[in-house]
């Protein structure tokens, strides 16, 4: 047990969630009080433009378990949960979405498994209710591409809803990378991990804060932070194409030497040119994604900026 004796830290990232935050608070309170142990509710306001931070600040006035990390602008979901981990001081740290798509009641099962000795308990979605067919399909495809392209075993159909032991959280704080894919990093640090299964519900209210553009960004972060395979694509494709070209050359030589056939090539030439140039540009784009990420690292900017922190002294806080 640590000095300030907080047993559980619950991290709740929120971005324009005023419609759901009251219900989320109520549900979390009732679940956490059932543990009979100490806890803190660490809300991270990721630059919301609505009243959700004010609502949380009000709760904080009479409920000392409520703490608020208020960002200076929107830094993104993955950064928000990173900040939560930096400020959390519990022996176990739980990450949960603010929109009640992740049922808070599941935290109790996570805690049980944690007490059995598991250091990471992640929540695996066996079913998604009320999400669009496109979201389900794209999410399923993403997790499978990720599994195929990375060497770290990142569990499929698993979001950021999870419990982590203090040891895991401390190790996570040593990973300073910018374009973060938190669930991948948690797999990377290792430790004894296990899953609890659940059905993912519909958002209580409001709409998703992950439009397609952000989903693609998260997907690229996931793949590129854990794999060089996209970079190797050029090598493989190059070998394949030059092999094919060589065979074709033999065929053309054969035609020229042993037959009277003439080769009409203009349309096929154009097609091949477009395909090849397109492929070269695609590879440049992929390299650009990696180079941009290297550039982000060299700048050494902090991951986030906190306007203010409400709720007493932050726990084991990063510099």
* Residues contributing to the site for ligand UDP (CB under 6 A): 13-15, 17, 46, 74, 76-77, 80, 97-99, 101, 208-210
Comparing CB distances to ligand UDP, the nearer of 7 and 203 is: 203
DSSP-assigned beta bridge partners for residue 13: 44
The Cα–Cα gap between 208 and 135 comes to 11
Comparing CB distances to ligand UDP, the nearer of 44 and 195 is: 44
The Cα–Cα gap between 217 and 306 comes to 23
Residues that bind Mg ion (CB under 5 A): 97, 99, 101
At its nearest, how many Å lie between ligand UDP and the CB of residue 40? 17
At its nearest, how many Å lie between ligand UDP and the CB of residue 251? 52
Comparing CB distances to ligand UDP, the nearer of 45 and 119 is: 45
At its nearest, how many Å lie between ligand UDP and the CB of residue 274? 36
Comparing CB distances to Mg ion, the nearer of 95 and 306 is: 95
Per partner kind, with CB cut-offs from 5 to 8 A, the member of Mg ion, ligand UDP, none near residue 102 is none
Comparing CB distances to ligand UDP, the nearer of 159 and 311 is: 159
Per partner kind, with CB cut-offs from 5 to 8 A, the member of ligand UDP, Mg ion, none near residue 80 is ligand UDP
At its nearest, how many Å lie between ligand UDP and the CB of residue 234? 32
């Amino acid at each position: 047990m640590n000095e300030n004796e907080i047993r559980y830290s619950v991290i709740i990232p929120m971005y324009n969630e005023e419609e759901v935050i009251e219900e989320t608070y109520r549900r979390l309170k009732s679940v956490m009080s059932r543990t009979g142990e100490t806890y803190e509710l660490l809300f991270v306001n990721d630059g919301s433009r609505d009243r959700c931070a004010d609502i949380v600040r009000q709760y904080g006035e009479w409920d000392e378990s409520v703490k608020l990390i208020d960002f200076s602008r929107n830094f993104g979901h993955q950064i928000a949960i990173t900040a939560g981990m930096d400020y959390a001081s519990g022996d176990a740290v739980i990450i949960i979405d603010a929109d009640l798509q992740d049922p808070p009641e599941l935290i109790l099962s996570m805690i049980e498994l944690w007490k059995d000795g598991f250091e990471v308990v992640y929540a695996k979605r066996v079913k998604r209710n009320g999400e669009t067919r496109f979201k389900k399909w794209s999410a399923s495809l993403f997790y499978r591409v990720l599994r195929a392209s990375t060497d770290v075993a990142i569990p499929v159909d698993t979001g950021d809803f999870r419990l982590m032991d203090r040891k895991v959280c401390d190790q996570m704080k040593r990973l300073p990378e910018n374009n973060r894919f938190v669930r991948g990093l948690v797999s990377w640090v290792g430790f004894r991990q296990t899953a609890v299964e659940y059905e993912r519900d519909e958002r209580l209210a409001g709409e998703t804060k992950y439009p397609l553009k952000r989903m693609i960004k998260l997907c690229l972060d996931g793949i590129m932070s854990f794999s060089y395979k996209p970079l190797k694509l050029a090598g493989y494709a190059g070998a394949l194409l030059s092999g094919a070209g060589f065979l074709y050359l033999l065929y053309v030589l054969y035609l020229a030497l042993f037959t009277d056939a003439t080769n009409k090539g203009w349309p096929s030439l154009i097609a091949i040119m477009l395909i090849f140039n397109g492929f070269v540009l695609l590879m440049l784009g992929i390299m650009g994604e990696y180079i941009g990420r290297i550039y982000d690292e060299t700048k050494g900017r902090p991951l986030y900026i906190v306007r203010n922190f409400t709720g007493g002294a932050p726990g084991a806080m990063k510099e």
